[in-house]
Every structure is written in C-alpha cells, then in structure tokens.
Amino acid sequence: MLRTHTCGELRITDIDKTVKLSGWVQRSRDLGGMTFIDLRDRYGITQLVFNMETHATLCKKARKLGREYVIQVEGLVAERSNKNTKIPTGEIEITAENIVVLNESKLPPFTIEDNTDGGEELRMKYRYLDLRRNPLRKALELRHKMAITTRNYLDKQGFFDIETPYLIKSTPEGARDFIVPSRMNTNQFYALPQSPQTFKQLLMVAGYDRYYQIVKCFRDEDLRADRQPEFTQIDCEMAFVEQEDILDMFEGLTLHLFKEIKGMEIDKFPRMEYSDAMKYYGSDKPDIRFGMRFVELNDLTQDKGFAIFDQAELVVGIKADGLSDYSRKQLDQLTDLVRKPQIGAKGLVYIKYNSDGSFKSSVDKFYNTEDLQKITDRFEAKPGDLILILSGETEKVRKQLNELRLEMGNRLGYRNPNVFAPLWVVDFPLLEWDEDNGRFHAMHHPFTSPKPEDIALLETDPGKVRANAYDLVINGVEIGGGSIRIHNRELQKLMFKHLGFTEEEAQAQFGFLMDAFEYGAPPHGGVAFGFDRITSLFGGSDSIRDYIAFPKNNSGRDVMIDTPSLVSQAQLDELMLNIVKPTK
C-alpha cells in the first residue's frame, strides 16, 4: 500500500507514529525555515511540515511541488503548536522524512477549494477536478449513503433487486424516447427505457411480488435544473397490495432515510386529495412547510361594480402575515412578477389591513370598509396583514397564485431547506385533456387503474375519472409517484381505447403486457422515487446535477467527453442509416 493512513485519519492519539500518506497537494506555504503543505485526499486534509534546518534537500524538493501534484510522504506524527480546530486532523501534523512524487500535475484551470473561482461550464469540462472539491465529494457521499440505506431497508422488507433491460421497446411515460438503431435488424430500433414500468409489472405476473431497482431511466425532454436526460429512480413494485399498503411501505422507507441520514424524526405524512391540492395551493406538489392556503372570494367580490372580478371565473387570494406596510414599490414589484409572461396574470389586487385597523386597497373605489372587512375576515386576517388577490380562469389563476404564494413564502422565510414537510397527494385524475392533440392522455401512465367506483364515468365523463395514483411530495418537490395498476386485459384494452389507440396499435405496442394479464396476473402496484431529486433535497439543494458524478449540461451535452458527437461513416453504413451531412 502506498499509505498507512488516509489524510483524514490521524489524531493527537497517533503522536510519534511513523506513517505514510498519499494524496494531492492542496497548497503549500513557504515560511523561510519551514515549508507547510496541505495534503488532500477523499478523507480530509493533513498538514505536512518540512524543516529547512534539519532536512534542507527535502525541504527544497517540497518547495518545488505544484498544486495537485500527487505525492507520497513518510514522516512522524507530531503535535501542532498552532492548532486548527476547524478540521478533524487539526491538532497534528506530519514532520516529513521523505517524499516521492507519484505524478505531476498541470496547473488546474480553477481552484480546487470549497468556493472555487471556476465557472460552471469550465468545471463541467474538468469534472474530475471539480469532483475533488469538498462540496461535490460530500454530495456523492450522501448519494452513496442514500443508496445503501435504501437497499438495506428494501432488502429487510423482502424486496429482490432485479435488473431489467435497457434496450427495450418504447414505454410511454409522457416524454420522448431515446432510440438506438439495431445493426442486426435493419431499419429497426430499440428504445431506452423511460422507466422499467412494463418489466416490473411482468415481474409481478412472474410472481416476484416485491421488486426494486435503483435504475437509470432515459427521457428526451427539455432540461431544467431538476431534470437530466438520464436520471436514476428507486423503482419498486409489489403484488397483492392496495394503495394504502404501498403508501405505508414507502412512507416507511422515506422515514427511515430521514432518520438514518439526517437523524430526523418526521411525523406521519398527511394525505391530500389532488382536487384539494389544486384548490388550496394551485399545485399538485404543494409546499406545505407553510400555510398561506388559497381563499376563494367570488361571492364577496362580485356585483360591486368591479368588472374584472365580476367577469372572472375565480377570484382567489392569499394572506401574507405582517406585510401590510409593504411599500408602493414592493407591491409594484409583485405586480410585475405575476405579470411576467411565464406567470401570465393580468394584474394584482391588494388589501392592506393596516396595524391601526383601517384598510387600504387597490380597489377602494369599488369596495367599502365593510366589504373589505368581510374579505379579510374570510382570511382570518389580523391588523398588519396583507391580502393579495388574483382573478381569471380557474386553472390559470390557481397556477399564477401558486407562483405568488411560493414567492411570498420565500420572502417571509417560510421555505427553510432544513425543514421537511412531506405529504402524499392522492386521487389524481386518470386522464388529462391534451389541448394540442384534441384528446385525452394518461396523467400518470396508461397502466394506472381507475378507481373502481369511477369506471362507469369513462364512457360519460372521462375527465372526472379518478385514478388509484399518488405522488410523494416534499417541500414542493415531486419526489416520486406511482399507482395501482390495471391487471386485467379487458380494462387495459378499454384504457387504450380512451387514449385514442386503435385495437391494432394497442396490440402492436402493448400486446405482450395484455397477453401476460391473461396468465394469472395478480393485483399489483408500485412507485418510483427520483433518486437524484430526493438526494439533492436531503442535501439542501435544488440542483440535481451536483449529486450526479457526470451530469449533462442544459443542452443535454456532456462537455467533458464532448458528446453527443458524430459517428463514422462506416458505423452509419453498417446501421444502414443516412444522415444529413453537416456542411462544415
């Protein structure tokens, strides 16, 4: 071994031991008679001392070491006179007796420190250097712990870890597939799985009644901070269960992760129906770290001569505690915010319930003190509070108010990343109307079962059918979702019909699954958690990239290995693929 200890290991109790360490030169300081080097590895940093008086040649050699050189050092553990209480090895140092340069390093293009001077693109290009930095090392350590804790938990519950193929046939999860041409089957393609959905269901038919996998999924969709073209799920399925059993099992997993990883005891997760989530928070992933629930006001605001409210399908507001002294400028800022094209509100109405009990609103012309009192009473407002109201078409206005609510939550400091408020959102609609294509599509996926009591509605009012589908939401982030599945051929066929598939199309794409349902398919259901997302949430960040060793950038590129990239003509010929040649 090129070392006896790691750079994070030695303590005051190791004094006088002769040790060998290996690592990277983080920095060196030359103080005339002495040279100090901070030696770093994955485990920490240890200070090395070279003494000019006693070891002149060695000290001169040490002075020549550049940043990120890889060295091996042999020496004696000594007590430091100048202790550093910030690091675990801060009470000792190594009095060097010998060094070996294991490899030199070019000067890195950015500083390898907690707060680096490197821009995002540069750090992505040299990801292997960025990964040497503490914040990323910690992120990957957290990811590892989350994975191992998940595996241990599910193993104890009797789940089998079973791999499913990556070269498959398209499984619709609402995104585009990445496709892979097959050389041996000219003009035919595999698709990379958007999830192992159909395979895990087939495993249930096969009798493996508790399955899990920490698995890569691939979706070709536009990227955001919390999306990557390839990402990882904790994917699970169980047979002989009902919705409650699944919620219990995976609430158990989540609580276990909170306890083991963060040392936190979290209360039982509340359940919220999808329709309530939309009505009270304007979102299917409400952040319930704070209240600020929506209050509907149509009956109190209409017929007072204010045309905008009179014509609105929904008039709805929130109460911001203690903000009645917001200035004109602050209110204008909020108005500008909700009018941004991404949010799209036309305007914002405010009512200040002043500390002296008086009211000041942007609609004083239409509403007298008594009217305003009634409105603020509905919010249970106190003097000093501020009411913010939006109006318009129900669905749109709820979405807009959701954005405003989150912004006010930020401003009031209600969204502390160290506080966790999980909940299950349940009873999602089965189908969602797709304006662009003029038909319904599955809100979760086509294998989700309708609530038995709603099946009749499929013929009369498909939009009203509720599904046995659920999402786990934590702090406004959708951590995962799942459903009880259809396990009967006829119902699955009916579902495809409502999704606009012809019988032939359904058979061609999903015949294998419907056929399997005819060979003793047990009732089953499952869930998948976004592993990158739950890890970044535990890490207190909203960028999943920091928790993935080698992520893609916003255009789906890996700038380190420079891909996607062209392939050779010979490869294309072999695949019988013609591509439009780039002009340069």
* Residues binding ligand ASP (CB under 6 A): 173, 195, 197, 481-483, 526-528
**What DSSP string describes 44-88?**
EEEEEEEETTT-HHHHHHHHTPPTT-EEEEEEEEEE-SS--TTST
In sequence order, the 6+-apart residues with CB closer than 8 A to the CB of 287 are 281, 406, 409, 415, 421, 475, 476
Cβ contact 272:246 at 8 Å: no
Rounded CA gap, 47 and 91, in Å?
A: 10
| Closer to ligand ASP by Cβ: residue 312 or 528 | 528
Rounded CA gap, 205 and 81, in Å?
A: 68
Rounded CA gap, 114 and 161, in Å?
A: 36
Q: Closest approach of Cβ 39 to ligand ASP, in Å?
A: 44
Q: Closest approach of Cβ 212 to ligand ASP, in Å?
A: 11
Q: In 10 A of CB 19, how many CB atoms?
A: 18
- 3-state class (DSSP) for residue 531: helix
**If DSSP states are collapsed to H, E and C, what string results for 298-360?**
HHHHCCCCCHHHHHCCEEEEEEECCCCCCCHHHHHHHHHHHHCCCCCCCCCEEEEECCCCCEE
Q: Closest approach of Cβ 136 to ligand ASP, in Å?
A: 27
Strand partners, 425: 272, 471
Q: In 10 A of CB 107, how many CB atoms?
A: 7
| Closer to ligand ASP by Cβ: residue 46 or 535 | 535
| Closer to ligand ASP by Cβ: residue 118 or 481 | 481
Cβ contact 93:112 at 8 Å: no
Buried b (16+ CB within 10 A) or exposed e, 160-186: eebebeeebebbbbebebbeebeeeee
Q: Closest approach of Cβ 473 to ligand ASP, in Å?
A: 14
| Closer to ligand ASP by Cβ: residue 164 or 195 | 195
- 3-state class (DSSP) for residue 106: coil
Q: Closest approach of Cβ 482 to ligand ASP, in Å?
A: 4
| Closer to ligand ASP by Cβ: residue 175 or 308 | 175
| Closer to ligand ASP by Cβ: residue 174 or 540 | 174
Q: In 10 A of CB 514, how many CB atoms?
A: 20
| Closer to ligand ASP by Cβ: residue 75 or 481 | 481
Q: Closest approach of Cβ 342 to ligand ASP, in Å?
A: 25
Element (H, E) at 212: strand 210-218
| Closer to ligand ASP by Cβ: residue 109 or 522 | 522
| Closer to ligand ASP by Cβ: residue 75 or 525 | 525
- 3-state class (DSSP) for residue 19: strand
| Closer to ligand ASP by Cβ: residue 250 or 290 | 250
Strand partners, 36: 29, 49
Q: Closest approach of Cβ 304 to ligand ASP, in Å?
A: 46
- Token pair of 218, please? 């691939």
Q: Closest approach of Cβ 63 to ligand ASP, in Å?
A: 56
| Closer to ligand ASP by Cβ: residue 173 or 385 | 173
| Closer to ligand ASP by Cβ: residue 290 or 470 | 470
Nearest to 126 by CA among 102, 105, 103: 105
Q: Closest approach of Cβ 514 to ligand ASP, in Å?
A: 18
Q: Closest approach of Cβ 194 to ligand ASP, in Å?
A: 7
Cβ contact 70:33 at 8 Å: no
Q: Closest approach of Cβ 165 to ligand ASP, in Å?
A: 15
| Closer to ligand ASP by Cβ: residue 423 or 479 | 479
Q: Closest approach of Cβ 173 to ligand ASP, in Å?
A: 5
Cβ contact 264:258 at 8 Å: yes
- Token pair of 325, please? 């002294």
